[in-house]
Amino acid sequence: MWLRDGLSVLSDKAYTMKMGQVRMPTRTFYMLNDPPLVRRVLAERADNYPKDEVLGFMLRRLMGDSIFTSNGATWKRQRGMMNPAFEAARVKDVFAQMLDATRDMAARLDTVADGRPYTIDVETTHVTADIILRTIFSSTMEQGAAERVFAAFNEFQEIAFAHGMLRIFRLPTFLSPRHARAGRAAREIRGLLEPMIRARLERIARGEAVPARDILAAMLEARDPTDGTPFSFEELYEQVAMLFLAGHETSASALGWTLYLIAKQPEVQARLLAEVTAVLGDRQPVFSDLRGLEYTRAVFREALRLYPPVAFIARTPIEGECLRGKDVKPGSIIFVSPWMLHRNRNHWDAPDEFDADRFETERGAEAARCAYLPFSMGPRVCLGAAFALQEATLILATLIRRYRFEAEPGHEPQPVARLTLRSANGIVLRLTRRNADAQAAAE
Protein backbone atom coordinates (compact mmCIF):
# COMPACT_ATOMS: atom_id res chain seq x y z
CA MET A 1 0.00 0.00 0.00
CA TRP A 2 2.84 2.42 0.80
CA LEU A 3 4.04 2.09 -2.81
CA ARG A 4 0.69 3.44 -4.03
CA ASP A 5 0.55 6.91 -2.46
CA GLY A 6 1.30 8.96 0.64
CA LEU A 7 -2.25 9.30 1.98
CA SER A 8 -2.95 5.61 2.40
CA VAL A 9 -0.64 5.33 5.44
CA LEU A 10 -2.19 8.17 7.46
CA SER A 11 -4.26 7.38 10.55
CA ASP A 12 -6.75 9.65 12.36
CA LYS A 13 -4.04 10.52 14.88
CA ALA A 14 -1.98 12.12 12.11
CA TYR A 15 -4.41 15.06 12.02
CA THR A 16 -3.98 15.99 15.69
CA MET A 17 -0.37 15.09 16.49
CA LYS A 18 2.41 17.66 16.51
CA MET A 19 5.26 15.36 15.53
CA GLY A 20 5.32 11.70 14.64
CA GLN A 21 8.30 9.34 14.47
CA VAL A 22 8.77 6.02 12.68
CA ARG A 23 11.98 4.06 13.07
CA MET A 24 12.91 1.78 10.19
CA PRO A 25 16.02 -0.37 9.69
CA THR A 26 17.25 1.99 6.98
CA ARG A 27 16.22 5.45 8.19
CA THR A 28 14.11 7.25 10.75
CA PHE A 29 11.13 9.29 9.54
CA TYR A 30 9.55 12.28 11.22
CA MET A 31 6.20 13.84 10.33
CA LEU A 32 5.71 17.44 11.41
CA ASN A 33 2.20 18.78 11.92
CA ASP A 34 2.91 21.70 14.22
CA PRO A 35 3.20 25.21 12.68
CA PRO A 36 6.25 26.38 14.73
CA LEU A 37 8.14 23.19 13.81
CA VAL A 38 7.16 23.53 10.16
CA ARG A 39 8.35 27.14 10.09
CA ARG A 40 11.63 26.16 11.71
CA VAL A 41 12.37 23.50 9.09
CA LEU A 42 11.14 25.30 5.97
CA ALA A 43 12.03 28.90 6.82
CA GLU A 44 14.09 29.68 9.92
CA ARG A 45 16.61 26.83 9.52
CA ALA A 46 16.08 26.10 5.83
CA ASP A 47 19.81 25.79 5.08
CA ASN A 48 20.03 22.88 7.48
CA TYR A 49 17.10 21.12 5.82
CA PRO A 50 17.70 20.75 2.06
CA LYS A 51 15.37 18.73 -0.14
CA ASP A 52 15.81 15.01 0.34
CA GLU A 53 17.75 13.25 -2.42
CA VAL A 54 14.83 10.88 -2.99
CA LEU A 55 12.96 13.67 -4.78
CA GLY A 56 15.86 14.15 -7.17
CA PHE A 57 16.04 10.41 -7.68
CA MET A 58 12.35 10.28 -8.59
CA LEU A 59 12.44 13.23 -10.99
CA ARG A 60 15.92 13.06 -12.52
CA ARG A 61 14.84 11.18 -15.65
CA LEU A 62 12.25 13.85 -16.33
CA MET A 63 13.83 17.16 -15.35
CA GLY A 64 17.43 16.35 -14.39
CA ASP A 65 19.11 18.49 -11.76
CA SER A 66 16.71 21.42 -12.09
CA ILE A 67 15.97 24.18 -9.60
CA PHE A 68 13.09 22.07 -8.27
CA THR A 69 15.37 19.23 -7.11
CA SER A 70 18.82 20.78 -6.65
CA ASN A 71 20.34 21.99 -3.38
CA GLY A 72 23.18 24.13 -2.06
CA ALA A 73 25.45 26.04 -4.43
CA THR A 74 23.83 24.48 -7.52
CA TRP A 75 20.41 25.68 -6.44
CA LYS A 76 21.67 29.17 -5.62
CA ARG A 77 23.35 29.46 -9.04
CA GLN A 78 20.18 28.29 -10.79
CA ARG A 79 18.01 30.60 -8.71
CA GLY A 80 20.17 33.58 -9.62
CA MET A 81 19.92 32.72 -13.31
CA MET A 82 16.22 31.89 -13.23
CA ASN A 83 15.06 35.11 -11.59
CA PRO A 84 14.86 36.94 -14.95
CA ALA A 85 12.76 34.09 -16.35
CA PHE A 86 10.25 34.40 -13.54
CA GLU A 87 10.27 38.16 -14.03
CA ALA A 88 9.24 37.51 -17.65
CA ALA A 89 6.10 35.81 -16.31
CA ARG A 90 4.80 38.87 -14.45
CA VAL A 91 1.09 38.43 -14.05
CA LYS A 92 0.02 41.57 -15.89
CA ASP A 93 2.26 40.84 -18.87
CA VAL A 94 0.91 37.31 -19.36
CA PHE A 95 -2.77 38.11 -18.85
CA ALA A 96 -3.47 38.28 -22.59
CA GLN A 97 -1.89 34.85 -23.13
CA MET A 98 -3.97 33.40 -20.30
CA LEU A 99 -7.13 34.93 -21.75
CA ASP A 100 -6.45 33.49 -25.21
CA ALA A 101 -5.91 30.03 -23.70
CA THR A 102 -9.18 30.22 -21.75
CA ARG A 103 -11.04 31.09 -24.97
CA ASP A 104 -9.57 28.00 -26.62
CA MET A 105 -10.54 25.96 -23.54
CA ALA A 106 -14.15 27.12 -23.87
CA ALA A 107 -14.21 26.14 -27.55
CA ARG A 108 -13.08 22.62 -26.62
CA LEU A 109 -15.55 22.26 -23.75
CA ASP A 110 -18.48 23.46 -25.86
CA THR A 111 -18.29 20.15 -27.69
CA VAL A 112 -18.94 18.14 -24.51
CA ALA A 113 -21.08 20.57 -22.48
CA ASP A 114 -24.38 18.78 -23.12
CA GLY A 115 -24.81 17.06 -19.76
CA ARG A 116 -22.76 13.98 -20.59
CA PRO A 117 -20.13 12.67 -18.09
CA TYR A 118 -16.75 14.26 -18.77
CA THR A 119 -13.36 13.75 -17.11
CA ILE A 120 -12.60 17.38 -16.29
CA ASP A 121 -9.04 16.92 -15.02
CA VAL A 122 -7.96 16.09 -18.58
CA GLU A 123 -9.10 19.57 -19.61
CA THR A 124 -7.57 21.34 -16.60
CA THR A 125 -4.27 19.72 -17.61
CA HIS A 126 -4.73 20.90 -21.20
CA VAL A 127 -5.53 24.52 -20.41
CA THR A 128 -2.80 24.95 -17.79
CA ALA A 129 -0.23 23.26 -20.04
CA ASP A 130 -1.36 25.51 -22.88
CA ILE A 131 -0.93 28.61 -20.71
CA ILE A 132 2.55 27.67 -19.54
CA LEU A 133 3.63 26.76 -23.10
CA ARG A 134 2.41 30.14 -24.35
CA THR A 135 4.35 31.79 -21.52
CA ILE A 136 7.57 29.84 -22.08
CA PHE A 137 7.56 29.40 -25.86
CA SER A 138 4.92 31.81 -27.22
CA SER A 139 3.31 28.66 -28.61
CA THR A 140 0.08 26.72 -28.07
CA MET A 141 -0.66 23.11 -27.17
CA GLU A 142 -2.76 20.91 -29.42
CA GLN A 143 -5.34 18.44 -28.10
CA GLY A 144 -3.30 15.35 -28.97
CA ALA A 145 -0.16 16.66 -27.29
CA ALA A 146 -2.12 17.61 -24.17
CA GLU A 147 -3.62 14.13 -23.90
CA ARG A 148 -0.20 12.51 -24.32
CA VAL A 149 1.32 14.72 -21.60
CA PHE A 150 -1.58 13.97 -19.24
CA ALA A 151 -1.24 10.22 -19.73
CA ALA A 152 2.58 10.20 -19.67
CA PHE A 153 2.91 12.30 -16.53
CA ASN A 154 0.24 10.34 -14.66
CA GLU A 155 2.07 7.15 -15.48
CA PHE A 156 5.47 8.64 -14.69
CA GLN A 157 4.52 9.97 -11.28
CA GLU A 158 2.87 6.72 -10.23
CA ILE A 159 6.02 4.77 -11.08
CA ALA A 160 8.37 7.47 -9.77
CA PHE A 161 6.58 7.50 -6.41
CA ALA A 162 6.98 3.75 -6.09
CA HIS A 163 10.65 4.08 -7.05
CA GLY A 164 11.12 6.75 -4.38
CA MET A 165 9.60 4.57 -1.68
CA LEU A 166 11.83 1.66 -2.67
CA ARG A 167 14.81 4.01 -2.59
CA ILE A 168 13.93 5.16 0.92
CA PHE A 169 13.94 1.57 2.11
CA ARG A 170 17.17 0.79 0.21
CA LEU A 171 15.41 -1.67 -2.10
CA PRO A 172 16.20 -2.04 -5.83
CA THR A 173 13.84 -0.11 -8.09
CA PHE A 174 13.43 -2.99 -10.52
CA LEU A 175 11.05 -4.43 -7.93
CA SER A 176 8.60 -1.67 -8.86
CA PRO A 177 5.80 -2.56 -11.30
CA ARG A 178 6.30 -1.19 -14.82
CA HIS A 179 9.90 -0.23 -14.05
CA ALA A 180 10.93 0.20 -17.69
CA ARG A 181 7.86 2.28 -18.54
CA ALA A 182 8.94 5.21 -16.36
CA GLY A 183 11.74 5.99 -18.79
CA ARG A 184 9.39 5.78 -21.75
CA ALA A 185 6.93 8.16 -20.07
CA ALA A 186 9.74 10.65 -19.39
CA ARG A 187 10.90 10.42 -23.01
CA GLU A 188 7.34 11.09 -24.16
CA ILE A 189 7.33 14.43 -22.35
CA ARG A 190 10.91 15.25 -23.33
CA GLY A 191 9.94 14.55 -26.94
CA LEU A 192 7.46 17.44 -26.73
CA LEU A 193 9.72 20.02 -25.09
CA GLU A 194 13.20 19.42 -26.49
CA PRO A 195 12.32 20.02 -30.17
CA MET A 196 10.71 23.34 -29.23
CA ILE A 197 13.93 24.50 -27.57
CA ARG A 198 16.07 23.33 -30.48
CA ALA A 199 13.77 25.06 -32.96
CA ARG A 200 14.25 28.38 -31.13
CA LEU A 201 18.04 27.98 -31.09
CA GLU A 202 18.08 27.11 -34.79
CA ARG A 203 16.00 30.18 -35.66
CA ILE A 204 18.40 32.37 -33.68
CA ALA A 205 21.38 30.78 -35.45
CA ARG A 206 19.77 31.59 -38.82
CA GLY A 207 19.26 35.18 -37.77
CA GLU A 208 15.47 34.93 -37.83
CA ALA A 209 13.18 37.01 -35.63
CA VAL A 210 12.11 35.20 -32.45
CA PRO A 211 9.91 36.18 -29.49
CA ALA A 212 11.78 38.56 -27.22
CA ARG A 213 9.61 38.62 -24.10
CA ASP A 214 8.74 35.02 -23.26
CA ILE A 215 10.39 32.91 -20.58
CA LEU A 216 12.62 31.01 -23.00
CA ALA A 217 14.04 34.29 -24.31
CA ALA A 218 14.81 35.36 -20.74
CA MET A 219 16.46 32.01 -20.00
CA LEU A 220 18.64 32.25 -23.11
CA GLU A 221 19.83 35.64 -21.89
CA ALA A 222 20.46 34.47 -18.31
CA ARG A 223 24.07 34.39 -17.13
CA ASP A 224 25.79 32.91 -14.11
CA PRO A 225 26.29 35.85 -11.70
CA THR A 226 29.83 34.67 -10.87
CA ASP A 227 31.42 33.66 -14.20
CA GLY A 228 28.99 35.00 -16.81
CA THR A 229 28.35 31.64 -18.49
CA PRO A 230 24.89 30.83 -19.97
CA PHE A 231 22.86 27.68 -19.46
CA SER A 232 24.12 24.70 -21.44
CA PHE A 233 21.51 23.03 -23.64
CA GLU A 234 20.97 20.26 -21.09
CA GLU A 235 20.60 22.78 -18.27
CA LEU A 236 18.20 24.79 -20.41
CA TYR A 237 16.07 21.72 -21.07
CA GLU A 238 16.05 20.76 -17.38
CA GLN A 239 14.84 24.19 -16.29
CA VAL A 240 12.22 24.36 -19.05
CA ALA A 241 10.98 20.88 -18.11
CA MET A 242 10.73 21.97 -14.49
CA LEU A 243 8.82 25.15 -15.40
CA PHE A 244 6.49 23.32 -17.74
CA LEU A 245 5.68 20.49 -15.34
CA ALA A 246 5.62 22.47 -12.10
CA GLY A 247 3.91 25.36 -13.87
CA HIS A 248 0.96 23.37 -15.14
CA GLU A 249 0.65 20.12 -13.18
CA THR A 250 0.05 21.72 -9.77
CA SER A 251 -2.48 24.19 -11.20
CA ALA A 252 -4.21 21.42 -13.14
CA SER A 253 -4.55 19.37 -9.96
CA ALA A 254 -5.92 22.30 -7.94
CA LEU A 255 -8.41 23.35 -10.63
CA GLY A 256 -9.74 19.83 -11.05
CA TRP A 257 -10.45 19.55 -7.34
CA THR A 258 -11.95 23.07 -7.27
CA LEU A 259 -14.44 22.20 -10.00
CA TYR A 260 -15.35 18.99 -8.17
CA LEU A 261 -16.07 20.97 -4.98
CA ILE A 262 -18.10 23.54 -6.91
CA ALA A 263 -20.14 20.82 -8.60
CA LYS A 264 -20.97 19.37 -5.17
CA GLN A 265 -22.02 22.80 -3.80
CA PRO A 266 -24.77 24.42 -5.94
CA GLU A 267 -25.03 27.40 -3.59
CA VAL A 268 -21.31 28.10 -4.01
CA GLN A 269 -21.70 27.89 -7.76
CA ALA A 270 -24.59 30.37 -7.61
CA ARG A 271 -22.52 32.85 -5.58
CA LEU A 272 -19.64 32.52 -8.00
CA LEU A 273 -21.91 33.21 -10.96
CA ALA A 274 -23.42 36.24 -9.23
CA GLU A 275 -19.97 37.69 -8.54
CA VAL A 276 -18.63 37.05 -12.04
CA THR A 277 -21.77 38.54 -13.58
CA ALA A 278 -21.56 41.63 -11.35
CA VAL A 279 -17.87 42.22 -12.10
CA LEU A 280 -17.75 41.37 -15.80
CA GLY A 281 -21.26 42.06 -17.01
CA ASP A 282 -21.54 41.00 -20.64
CA ARG A 283 -17.94 41.70 -21.71
CA GLN A 284 -14.60 39.98 -21.82
CA PRO A 285 -12.46 40.30 -18.66
CA VAL A 286 -9.53 42.69 -18.43
CA PHE A 287 -6.63 42.50 -16.00
CA SER A 288 -8.12 44.99 -13.52
CA ASP A 289 -11.29 42.86 -13.18
CA LEU A 290 -9.41 40.16 -11.31
CA ARG A 291 -9.22 42.37 -8.22
CA GLY A 292 -13.00 42.31 -7.91
CA LEU A 293 -13.33 38.52 -8.05
CA GLU A 294 -12.77 38.12 -4.32
CA TYR A 295 -15.13 35.21 -3.71
CA THR A 296 -13.72 33.37 -6.74
CA ARG A 297 -10.24 33.62 -5.21
CA ALA A 298 -11.59 32.54 -1.82
CA VAL A 299 -13.14 29.42 -3.38
CA PHE A 300 -9.83 28.52 -4.98
CA ARG A 301 -7.93 29.17 -1.74
CA GLU A 302 -10.29 26.83 0.10
CA ALA A 303 -9.85 24.17 -2.58
CA LEU A 304 -6.08 24.53 -2.12
CA ARG A 305 -6.56 23.96 1.60
CA LEU A 306 -8.56 20.76 1.14
CA TYR A 307 -6.56 19.44 -1.81
CA PRO A 308 -3.05 20.97 -1.81
CA PRO A 309 -1.32 19.98 -5.08
CA VAL A 310 1.88 18.99 -3.25
CA ALA A 311 0.66 17.01 -0.25
CA PHE A 312 4.08 16.09 1.19
CA ILE A 313 7.38 17.99 1.35
CA ALA A 314 10.53 16.01 2.25
CA ARG A 315 13.61 17.49 3.90
CA THR A 316 16.82 15.97 5.31
CA PRO A 317 18.84 17.61 8.12
CA ILE A 318 22.53 18.22 7.44
CA GLU A 319 23.21 18.68 11.15
CA GLY A 320 21.45 16.99 14.04
CA GLU A 321 18.86 19.00 15.93
CA CYS A 322 16.46 18.51 18.82
CA LEU A 323 12.83 18.92 17.79
CA ARG A 324 10.15 18.48 20.46
CA GLY A 325 12.58 16.55 22.61
CA LYS A 326 13.56 14.14 19.83
CA ASP A 327 17.15 13.87 18.67
CA VAL A 328 16.77 14.24 14.90
CA LYS A 329 19.97 12.91 13.33
CA PRO A 330 21.54 13.87 9.99
CA GLY A 331 20.26 11.76 7.12
CA SER A 332 16.82 11.13 8.59
CA ILE A 333 13.79 12.24 6.60
CA ILE A 334 11.44 14.94 7.78
CA PHE A 335 8.05 15.19 6.10
CA VAL A 336 5.98 18.36 6.20
CA SER A 337 2.50 17.65 4.91
CA PRO A 338 0.29 20.51 3.70
CA TRP A 339 -2.50 17.90 3.45
CA MET A 340 -2.25 17.16 7.18
CA LEU A 341 -1.58 20.73 8.27
CA HIS A 342 -4.56 22.04 6.30
CA ARG A 343 -6.79 19.47 8.02
CA ASN A 344 -5.25 19.84 11.47
CA ARG A 345 -8.07 19.58 14.03
CA ASN A 346 -6.20 21.89 16.43
CA HIS A 347 -6.18 24.86 14.05
CA TRP A 348 -9.16 24.64 11.71
CA ASP A 349 -12.88 24.52 12.45
CA ALA A 350 -14.60 21.65 10.61
CA PRO A 351 -11.36 21.01 8.71
CA ASP A 352 -12.77 18.41 6.31
CA GLU A 353 -15.63 20.63 5.17
CA PHE A 354 -15.61 23.09 2.28
CA ASP A 355 -16.16 26.66 3.50
CA ALA A 356 -14.81 29.49 1.35
CA ASP A 357 -15.85 32.04 4.01
CA ARG A 358 -13.67 30.52 6.71
CA PHE A 359 -10.78 32.90 5.96
CA GLU A 360 -13.00 35.83 7.00
CA THR A 361 -13.39 34.53 10.56
CA GLU A 362 -10.87 35.32 13.29
CA ARG A 363 -9.97 31.64 13.79
CA GLY A 364 -9.79 31.01 10.06
CA ALA A 365 -7.53 34.00 9.48
CA GLU A 366 -5.22 32.84 12.27
CA ALA A 367 -5.10 29.31 10.86
CA ALA A 368 -4.32 30.73 7.42
CA ARG A 369 -1.35 32.60 8.87
CA CYS A 370 0.20 29.62 10.64
CA ALA A 371 -1.21 26.41 9.15
CA TYR A 372 -1.70 27.11 5.45
CA LEU A 373 1.09 26.52 2.95
CA PRO A 374 -0.19 25.41 -0.47
CA PHE A 375 2.89 27.04 -2.02
CA SER A 376 5.30 25.98 0.75
CA MET A 377 7.21 28.71 2.64
CA GLY A 378 10.69 30.05 3.27
CA PRO A 379 13.41 30.58 0.65
CA ARG A 380 12.00 27.80 -1.54
CA VAL A 381 8.45 29.13 -1.59
CA CYS A 382 6.85 28.72 -5.01
CA LEU A 383 7.75 31.70 -7.16
CA GLY A 384 4.77 30.99 -9.39
CA ALA A 385 2.15 31.54 -6.67
CA ALA A 386 0.84 34.84 -8.06
CA PHE A 387 0.85 33.36 -11.58
CA ALA A 388 -1.17 30.35 -10.40
CA LEU A 389 -3.71 32.45 -8.48
CA GLN A 390 -4.31 34.73 -11.47
CA GLU A 391 -4.57 31.77 -13.83
CA ALA A 392 -7.06 29.96 -11.60
CA THR A 393 -9.22 33.05 -11.04
CA LEU A 394 -9.48 33.73 -14.76
CA ILE A 395 -10.21 30.11 -15.66
CA LEU A 396 -12.85 29.72 -12.95
CA ALA A 397 -14.56 32.96 -13.92
CA THR A 398 -14.65 31.86 -17.56
CA LEU A 399 -16.01 28.41 -16.72
CA ILE A 400 -18.66 29.52 -14.23
CA ARG A 401 -20.07 32.17 -16.55
CA ARG A 402 -20.34 29.72 -19.44
CA TYR A 403 -21.26 26.36 -17.84
CA ARG A 404 -23.19 24.79 -15.02
CA PHE A 405 -21.31 21.95 -13.29
CA GLU A 406 -22.92 18.93 -11.69
CA ALA A 407 -21.37 15.97 -9.90
CA GLU A 408 -21.61 12.62 -11.66
CA PRO A 409 -23.92 10.34 -9.64
CA GLY A 410 -22.04 7.42 -8.14
CA HIS A 411 -18.60 8.87 -8.89
CA GLU A 412 -16.36 9.79 -5.97
CA PRO A 413 -12.83 10.90 -6.87
CA GLN A 414 -10.14 9.03 -4.91
CA PRO A 415 -7.24 11.35 -3.98
CA VAL A 416 -3.75 9.86 -4.19
CA ALA A 417 -0.63 11.79 -3.20
CA ARG A 418 2.38 10.99 -5.35
CA LEU A 419 4.37 13.82 -6.87
CA THR A 420 1.13 15.79 -6.98
CA LEU A 421 -2.33 15.19 -5.56
CA ARG A 422 -4.52 13.64 -8.24
CA SER A 423 -7.63 11.47 -8.38
CA ALA A 424 -6.86 7.81 -8.99
CA ASN A 425 -10.13 7.42 -10.90
CA GLY A 426 -10.31 10.87 -12.50
CA ILE A 427 -12.74 13.70 -11.73
CA VAL A 428 -15.92 13.10 -13.70
CA LEU A 429 -18.47 15.93 -13.90
CA ARG A 430 -21.38 16.96 -16.10
CA LEU A 431 -21.23 20.31 -17.91
CA THR A 432 -24.20 22.17 -19.38
CA ARG A 433 -24.12 25.44 -21.34
CA ARG A 434 -25.78 28.41 -19.68
CA ASN A 435 -28.12 30.88 -21.41
CA ALA A 436 -27.34 32.59 -24.71
CA ASP A 437 -26.33 35.90 -23.12
CA ALA A 438 -23.71 34.21 -20.97
CA GLN A 439 -22.48 32.26 -23.98
CA ALA A 440 -22.09 35.41 -26.04
CA ALA A 441 -20.22 37.18 -23.23
CA ALA A 442 -17.69 34.36 -22.98
CA GLU A 443 -16.96 34.36 -26.71
Q: What is the CA radius of gyration of the chain?
A: 22
Cβ count near 155 (within 10 Å):
17
Find, among 122, 5, 104, 18, the residue nearest to 370 by Cα.
18
Between vectors from CA 182 to CA 179 and to CA 186, what angle results, nearest 5°? 160
Determine phi and psi for 119, rounding to 5 degrees.
Answer: -80, 100
β-strands 28-32, 333-336 pairing? parallel
382 annotated as ligand-binding: yes
* Phi-psi group of 207: left, alpha or beta (phi > 0 → left; psi -120 to 50 → alpha; rest → beta): left
Q: Which residues are annotated as a binding site?
A: 382
Q: Which residues are annotated as a binding site for heme?
A: 382
